[in-house]
């Protein structure tokens, strides 16, 4: 009491006042759906630029093949739901169950793509890709994934997620699915077993790189790593 009477504030009260005096209001982040839409908009912009290199007639012909069309739809829906789940789980207090959201479209994407393994048997006239073409597809998926990965990690870092590895892995899934969807308009041949294995390897690399590298960055910001 003497301290308060003599100085007005106690030592602890002055400390709290000094710490609070320099604080600035925290700018609230947009809703997860809004941030996901912004990221998906960037992916769509890349898609529009790539579309100028596509052959419309060949694209329409490929989309008439049921399994190719379903795989494309699955990839697009996986990118949308995984992006939303990543931004949702980046918000402290949000349920980790949002990570289950991309599973149904992911199953569609994988299941429909798997039918391509039978293509050489059910369609003897399939356009079989050469080694150079397959390597080109792999390079395309990795190159498109890099800017999308950087963008989504930068956007996720602002929320300081409490589950950094889960959030980063969901971001990686969104990136991989978006890259696969963007490949469809410029894909030079039908899907085959070899082609799909290469795609699967690229997708696995993208998800792993985001989950490990992105998870460390996000965990560092949240004070978990």
- 225 residues of the chain, pLDDT tens digit each: 444 444 455 666 666 666 556 656 566 778 999 999 999 999 999 988 887 877 777 777 767 777 778 888 999 999 999 999 999 999 888 888 999 999 999 999 888 877 766 655 544 444 544 444 556 778 888 888 999 999 998 898 877 777 888 998 999 999 999 998 888 877 655 555 555 666 677 778 888 887 777 666 676 654 554
Phi, psi of 163 (to 5 degrees): -120, 70
Which DSSP state fits 187? -
- Residue 29 to residue 49: CA distance in whole angstroms: 29
Q: What is the pTM of this model?
A: 0.76
- Read off φ and ψ for residue 156, nearest 5 degrees: -70, -30
């Amino acid at each position: 009491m003497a301290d308060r009477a003599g100085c007005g504030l106690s030592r602890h009260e002055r400390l709290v006042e000094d710490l609070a005096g320099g604080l600035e209001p925290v700018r609230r982040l947009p809703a997860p759906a809004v941030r996901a839409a912004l990221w998906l908009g960037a992916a769509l912009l890349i898609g529009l630029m790539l579309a100028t290199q596509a052959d419309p007639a060949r694209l329409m012909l490929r989309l008439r093949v049921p399994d190719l069309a379903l795989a494309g739809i699955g990839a697009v829906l996986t990118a949308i739901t995984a992006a939303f789940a990543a931004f949702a789980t980046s918000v402290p207090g949000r349920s980790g169950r949002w990570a289950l959201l991309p599973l149904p479209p992911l199953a569609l994407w994988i299941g429909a793509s798997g039918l391509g393994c039978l293509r050489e048997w059910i369609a003897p006239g399939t356009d079989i890709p050469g080694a150079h073409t397959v390597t080109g597809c792999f390079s395309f998926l990795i190159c498109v994934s890099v800017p999308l990965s950087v963008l989504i990690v930068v956007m996720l870092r602002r929320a300081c997620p409490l589950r950094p590895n889960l959030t980063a892995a969901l971001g990686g899934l969104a990136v991989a699915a978006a890259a696969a969807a963007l490949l469809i308009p410029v894909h030079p041949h039908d899907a085959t077993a070899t082609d799909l294995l290469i795609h699967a390897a690229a997708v696995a690399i993208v998800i792993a790189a985001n989950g490990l590298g992105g998870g460390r960055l996000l965990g560092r910001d949240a004070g978990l790593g």
